[in-house]
Structure 1
Amino acid sequence: MIRSAILALFTCTVLLFATQQAVAQSQPYQWKATPALHELPTQYANENAVIIMDQRLHTFLSDEKEGLLLYTTLHKIIRVNKEQGVEMFNKVYVPVAYDAEVQEIQARVITPAGKVINLPADKVLDEEEDGRLYKKFALEGVEKGSEVEYIARIKRNASFFGLEVFQSPVPCAEARFTLTIPAYLVFTCKGYNGFEMAADTVIGEQRISYGSCSNITVVENEKYAQTAQHLKNVQYKLSYNLSKDKDVRLFTWNQLAKNIFDRYSKPEEKEVKAIAAFLKSSKINGETEEAKIIALEDYLKNNISINEQGIGDDAELIEKIVKTKVASNEGFTKLFALCLQQMDIKYHIVFPSKRDDIPLDEKLENYRLIEDPVFYFPGTGKYLEPTNISFRYPYIQPNWAATKGLFLQNTSIGNFNTAYASFKNIAILPYEQSSHNMEVTLRFNSNLDSVLMHSKQIFTGYGASMYRPAFHFLPKDKIQDFTQELMQSVSNSKNIRNIKVANDAFADGYSNKPLTIEGDISSAELFEIAGNKLLLKIGDVIGPQVQMYQEKPRQLPVSVEYPHSLDRKIELTIPDGYSIKNPDDLKFFITEKANEEGTMGFISTYKIEGQKLLIDIHEYYKETAYSMEQFDAFQKVINAAADFNKVVLVLEKKK
């Protein structure tokens, strides 16, 4: 990954000029020798569990042999109130970085009766889940009303960028963070979303930053919300080395831009030759810049296999990649960038401030949050995600757009080429270009015991980009199941025939050709017979809809993955001798503002022409973000679609 490569390079650079000034290690952090149960504030009485105290200490110490090291101490005390809380905390997992050494773990349980049960050291086990390492231990004696306490001490090589998130699935009464560093280093340390950090203080040979936050509530997983950007957290980064040059700020965004420019835009002679031969053999061409971008992306993603970690040391060497056709993410990105450069296609590397992650801060250059790049093409104004084979130009993951991004722009000063950094908005496609539309015709068979339906689903923009990968990466037998399930969702019937798919190729997305999936459906589940009436579940033909009913007050503003519209045209042939008694149930006009379309809405109209009932539905969300003040309107629009889902037409036999 770009992030790991950049961090490694910069860490080495700083360590080279960091003074080897020894700092005596402070006394190890200790818990109370004789613990007692804490008095629990009444506000937490009904919680499954509550973190009484969450203390995290980051200490940088110089060692004559190992250089600068980071010692992290985690200390937590958790009160368990209910059985569910017991299940949550009778086993504890402490995450461990791949380059870290866990020096010690202490844990104990204080029962409601005051008995202390210590964890034997040999009960701490190594565990690996989903590629992450943990220290795991099970605790005895955990019951309602008890407290779980543990301390973990971890040692690792210094990392000059830190992030600690303090929100969890249970509330926290008190959280504390302390950063202790040699006095000759100056870190910028900042709390977010209400976590307060005080100014640093120099005591002897140590510089100390301290912060705290009380009464940290749980951020609920709400529908249409992004939680990460609202989490209470602390971040830090090294800004100055006073022993070297007290006026030179380290790890700036411009410094990052220059370093990445050097890495991706200054190939060695052997790399230039390898790229030239590669492009010649690929026969990539195009009349316009955009056509060349499309052709290059298609060729690279179809012919070079990306292995996230790479295979051996050769996975980042350009001359090896073009021979073996295997690359790491880092190697693939570099290959892509050098091809663009040799084809004289101007691009900028951009690091998105992702909407579903902790955002970048323009004033605190935390390289730890820098990871996956995208390419921006000033000539077309569009983007490309180089290592994601499921997305193709001009689409990047929607949560990476409609946000700010760190743009690394090339510049020339005389004969000297470099780059500088700036934050700009990453545009997302307007709502008209992303849709999930439907065209449906319905009629009853001659015996009036089944509804015959032809349903056509039409996807454009991001709507199509979410489904196209399935037609490329699923096995053939699974593709049929996929389309069958999609059609079944709008009919409640498995009797589906003549399924046809059009414009499912990645190349169709470049020009936004609509991906269409259609078929014929026979359904006895869409209606019921009640005497001389037919009860047609017309609302079901648009498929299941989300309902939003808040039992608790809304916590977070609304986040929509991407702006989009949903237009449905439904044509029902009314059986001879029948009339519709409640057609006005189809009429909806729910928008952001009364009598105005605004930025969101659900509008349904109908007309009857002879034996034809024609329904038009226009649902739309023009923005990705809606404020708390707009939540009530958003909820009404979402629920309008769900309410249409429940509409049942009454077809009554004429007398």
Structure 2
Amino acid sequence: MKKSISFLVFFIIASTLLAQEIPFYKSYTWEASPNFSVNAADSTSIVGVKDKIITEFIFENKDLFEYYLEHKAVWLNSDERIEDYNKVYLPYDNSSELIVSKARVIKSNGEISELDDSKILTAKDDETQRVYKFFAFEGIEKGSIVEYYYVVKRAPEYSGKRLTFQSYYDKQDVGFDLYSPSNLVFKFKSFNGLPEVVRDTLSENKLHWTMRAAQLPGLERESQSAYNASTGFVIFKLDENLANNTKDITSYSKVSQNIYNYYYGEIDKKAQRKLNKFIDGAGVKAGMDTDEMLRKLESHIKTNVYLRHGGNAGNDLESVLNEKVATSKGMMMLFISAFNTLDIKHELILTSDRQELKFDPEFEANTFLNDYLFYFPKTDKYMAPTEFDSRYGFPPSYLTDTYGLHIKEVALGDFKSATGRIEYINPVEAAETVDKMIVDVSFDAEDLTKNAIQLNLSMTGYYAMYLQPFMNVIPQDNKTEILEGFAKRLDESATIKSKEIKNADPALFGTKPLHFILDFESEAFVEKAGNRYLFKVGELIGRQVQMYQDNERKLPLEDEFTRTYYRTLNIKIPEGYRVANADDINIDHSFSLDGEEVLMFKSFYEMNGDTLKITADEFYKINKISKEFYEDYRKVINSAADFNKVTLILEPN
């Protein structure tokens, strides 16, 4: 998003006769005789003993540049961590200039080995042709400290920049400094417990802001957590130019208007004729409801237009329609032009992946504007135009359950413009993503260790989205593998007797469930024990996740999407036998929030003649669970694993 909308951020820097400042790095160096103190337990493998970032914005011949310095010193105490630091890559590319690069190894006995220029290597990625530089360290021993710093000169990033300081290991002496000319005022926000950035009021010729943390504890990764979004980081942005009294330089109102101007301009008659023909090819007709119209249009575009990454070809509407190749900009142009032609009311949304960066509704910075969605007020649904494995109504789930910038067209007479507002992007409800399983089981009359099983499996929503829209292009061999795989996951040695797929038409996604039916024979579920039989009924729902947590949970839990499971097991009990321990089936765990049951697993049974009917329902109606309720979540999700272990005892009457 940064590159694609950099043209949107515009402000005029007054070319006043500012005194030529000396960049900070000119006087920056490391200590000739460092005296790092490592506070670590014997079992610790890595500690950051210095972690400093300094960035300066400075005018040179009336042009603004950024000088970026990163200075790190890391104590390494294991072979694995030493291996991690054999190479340290530098953020260098063809559009930047590496001004300073220094590195050294400080052994535990105090011996210092500084890298010479021959150890600062240049390489090229064969695939992308990108040139990069890296430090090549040698002679690192356990207990050594690797120290390096570099300075890069580059075009300024000022519309919203994220700097992450917290990692999985403890750090000491953490710092951040930003310098700017006296007319350029920046704003800052610290996240996830990182100290706030404060103004240095004693700085005279430059503006100076700073952040310091003597100790920054490491943050370990935990399962089902938004780890990257949970680390301590700073976001900064340019806010004012005092020289010409320009305020709110980085603002969503300007972004909204600039995006609107770019995507919502007039279409010339030639391109409109081609667009009309393309829409006709989608099968969109007058009188269709909005849902059907959008499904057909999206499927047609994502089936017939190839999305390319990079380059300029495919940026404009006419070339996209001619070549059927589009960049992300061209794809956006095609969708928006089609919506306007069909008079489909919509709003454009910019947001960010909540796993990586949670959209902050209070701090306007382009850092948060990474991914596009469309919102349709009439249907209250979303669409992801440049995500080809997503479909209308089911946008990438990590782009939901978060905030986003909604850009909406407004009209006053013939004058049209845009407004931007921040709103919450609601997740798709659990009832829309359903995994439904009906299993009918009978026993071989001659050998009760053999079962005849019919598996009816249907899926909707996110569970169907990765298959149903593409069933027409999946080779038959792969379809067979997918279909038989549902039985093989229950019993690798299952003998498949028949198989069938229903509702495989991609056009049915969102309207009818994708349905798989398999008949197979198995000897995996029953064992003979004297005159009794042990029937592993719980394994019929497939292997379930069991969550373990030895240490206290530190991070909130975050799921991908809300979801529902319905499972019905119809077991025909063999003649002359009964179930001795049917009550083992009964499991009931749930969690309520604000009076609503939001997490649940419940299994129960009833006897209908000789048929034991088992119901096991499960749902997760929220994605985010605070760490204080983690045990409640774990209890519910482990209930399915507990059901997995249920073994029924069949004994003679």
Normalised by the length of structure 1, the TM-score is: 0.92
Contact 1:178 1:210 (8 Å CA) reproduced: yes
Mark the CA change 1:472 to 1:135 in structure 2 (over 3 Å): closer, same or farther.
farther
Whether 1:411 aligns to 2:410 is: yes
1:176, distance to aligned residue in structure 2 (A): 1.1
Contact 1:18 1:241 (8 Å CA) reproduced: no
- Point out the more displaced range, 473-482 or 150-159: 473-482
Corresponding residue number in structure 1 for 2:309:
308
1:133, distance to aligned residue in structure 2 (A): 6.2
Mark the CA change 1:60 to 1:91 in structure 2 (over 3 Å): closer, same or farther.
same
Corresponding residue number in structure 2 for 1:151:
149
The AA in structure 1 aligned to 2:296 is A
Corresponding residue number in structure 2 for 1:582:
581
- Point out the more displaced range, 216-225 or 551-560: 216-225
- Point out the more displaced range, 138-147 or 636-645: 138-147
Q: Distance in 2 between matches of 1:93 and 1:394?
A: 41
Contact 1:491 1:541 (8 Å CA) reproduced: no
Q: Distance in 1 between matches of 2:449 and 2:587?
A: 30
**Percentage identity across aligned positions?**
28
Corresponding residue number in structure 1 for 2:59:
62
Corresponding residue number in structure 2 for 1:491:
491
Q: Distance in 2 between matches of 1:593 and 1:280?
A: 49
Corresponding residue number in structure 2 for 1:135:
133
Corresponding residue number in structure 2 for 1:426:
425
Contact 1:7 1:367 (8 Å CA) reproduced: no
Corresponding residue number in structure 1 for 2:110:
114
Q: Distance in 1 between matches of 2:354 and 2:75?
A: 33
Contact 2:13 2:241 (8 Å CA) reproduced: no
Deviations 1:37-79 (A, max 9, x none): x22224x5432111111111111121117x2111111111111
Corresponding residue number in structure 1 for 2:371:
372
- Point out the more displaced range, 375-384 or 268-277: 268-277
1:224, distance to aligned residue in structure 2 (A): 2.5
Q: Distance in 1 between matches of 2:362 and 2:16?
A: 27
Mark the CA change 1:505 to 1:240 in structure 2 (over 3 Å): closer, same or farther.
farther
1:339, distance to aligned residue in structure 2 (A): 1.4
**Where do 5+ consecutive residues of structure 1 fail to align?**
none
- Point out the more displaced range, 537-546 or 13-22: 13-22
Corresponding residue number in structure 2 for 1:23:
21
Corresponding residue number in structure 2 for 1:298:
299
1:517, distance to aligned residue in structure 2 (A): 1.8
Corresponding residue number in structure 2 for 1:39:
37
1:147, distance to aligned residue in structure 2 (A): 0.7
The AA in structure 1 aligned to 2:83 is E
The AA in structure 1 aligned to 2:295 is I
Corresponding residue number in structure 2 for 1:504:
504
Contact 1:353 1:406 (8 Å CA) reproduced: no
Corresponding residue number in structure 1 for 2:254:
255
Q: Distance in 1 between matches of 2:470 and 2:293?
A: 26
> 2:47 pairs with 33, 50, 60, which one?
50
The AA in structure 2 aligned to 1:60 is F
Q: Distance in 2 between matches of 1:609 and 1:365?
A: 62
Contact 2:23 2:56 (8 Å CA) reproduced: no
Whether 1:527 aligns to 2:520 is: no
- Point out the more displaced range, 88-97 or 378-387: 88-97
Whether 1:183 aligns to 2:179 is: no
The AA in structure 2 aligned to 1:115 is E
Corresponding residue number in structure 1 for 2:316:
317
The AA in structure 2 aligned to 1:609 is N
Deviations 1:142-168 (A, max 9, x none): 121111111122121112131111122
Normalised by the length of structure 2, the TM-score is: 0.93
Mark the CA change 1:55 to 1:317 in structure 2 (over 3 Å): closer, same or farther.
same
Deviations 1:448-486 (A, max 9, x none): 342221112211122222443563564443332233323
Q: Distance in 2 between matches of 1:280 and 1:470?
A: 22
Could you list the structure 1 runs, at least 4 aligned residues long, displaced by more than 6 angstroms after superposition.
Answer: none
Whether 1:456 aligns to 2:456 is: yes
Mark the CA change 1:96 to 1:525 in structure 2 (over 3 Å): closer, same or farther.
farther
The AA in structure 1 aligned to 2:486 is L
Deviations 1:588-630 (A, max 9, x none): 0111269x98211111101223321110011111111122232
Q: Distance in 1 between matches of 2:434 and 2:131?
A: 41
Deviations 1:79-109 (A, max 9, x none): 1123332222233233445632323321111
Corresponding residue number in structure 2 for 1:481:
481
- What SS is found at the alignment partner of 1:313? coil
**Where do 5+ consecutive residues of structure 2 fail to align?**
none
Q: Distance in 2 between matches of 1:58 and 1:235?
A: 13
- What SS is found at the alignment partner of 1:14? coil
Q: Distance in 1 between matches of 2:425 and 2:121?
A: 45
Contact 1:564 1:622 (8 Å CA) reproduced: yes
Deviations 1:183-227 (A, max 9, x none): 111111221111223332362331111112343333333222222
Corresponding residue number in structure 2 for 1:572:
571
Q: Distance in 1 between matches of 2:82 and 2:598?
A: 46
Give the number of aligned pairs: 643
Q: Distance in 1 between matches of 2:645 and 2:199?
A: 60
Corresponding residue number in structure 2 for 1:229:
229
Mark the CA change 1:628 to 1:266 in structure 2 (over 3 Å): closer, same or farther.
same
1:488, distance to aligned residue in structure 2 (A): 1.6
1:637, distance to aligned residue in structure 2 (A): 0.6
Q: Distance in 2 between matches of 1:282 and 1:563?
A: 31
Q: Distance in 1 between matches of 2:580 and 2:457?
A: 29
- What SS is found at the alignment partner of 2:180? strand
- What SS is found at the alignment partner of 2:186? strand
Measured on the aligned residues, the alpha-carbon RMSD in Å equals: 2.4
Mark the CA change 1:297 to 1:145 in structure 2 (over 3 Å): closer, same or farther.
same
Q: Distance in 1 between matches of 2:452 and 2:94?
A: 59
Mark the CA change 1:452 to 1:428 in structure 2 (over 3 Å): closer, same or farther.
same
Q: Distance in 1 between matches of 2:286 and 2:393?
A: 16
The AA in structure 1 aligned to 2:308 is N
Mark the CA change 1:128 to 1:614 in structure 2 (over 3 Å): closer, same or farther.
farther
Contact 1:237 1:364 (8 Å CA) reproduced: no
Contact 1:70 1:156 (8 Å CA) reproduced: yes
1:127, distance to aligned residue in structure 2 (A): 4.7
Q: Distance in 1 between matches of 2:478 and 2:123?
A: 34
Contact 1:491 1:543 (8 Å CA) reproduced: no
Mark the CA change 1:537 to 1:116 in structure 2 (over 3 Å): closer, same or farther.
same
Mark the CA change 1:281 to 1:162 in structure 2 (over 3 Å): closer, same or farther.
same
- What SS is found at the alignment partner of 1:510? coil
- What SS is found at the alignment partner of 1:284? coil
Deviations 1:103-126 (A, max 9, x none): 332111111111112222222233
Corresponding residue number in structure 2 for 1:14:
11
Contact 2:460 2:513 (8 Å CA) reproduced: yes
Q: Distance in 2 between matches of 1:174 and 1:472?
A: 58
1:324, distance to aligned residue in structure 2 (A): 0.8
Contact 2:439 2:453 (8 Å CA) reproduced: yes
Structural mapping, 1:259-274, within 5 Å? 259-269=258-268, 271-272=271-272, 274=274
Contact 2:169 2:219 (8 Å CA) reproduced: no
1:413, distance to aligned residue in structure 2 (A): 3.7
- What SS is found at the alignment partner of 1:373? strand
1:294, distance to aligned residue in structure 2 (A): 2.2
- What SS is found at the alignment partner of 1:158? coil
1:278, distance to aligned residue in structure 2 (A): 3.9
Mark the CA change 1:566 to 1:152 in structure 2 (over 3 Å): closer, same or farther.
same
Deviations 1:304-342 (A, max 9, x none): 111122xx5331021111111111111111111011112
The AA in structure 2 aligned to 1:163 is R
Contact 1:186 1:241 (8 Å CA) reproduced: yes
Q: Distance in 2 between matches of 1:469 and 1:75?
A: 49
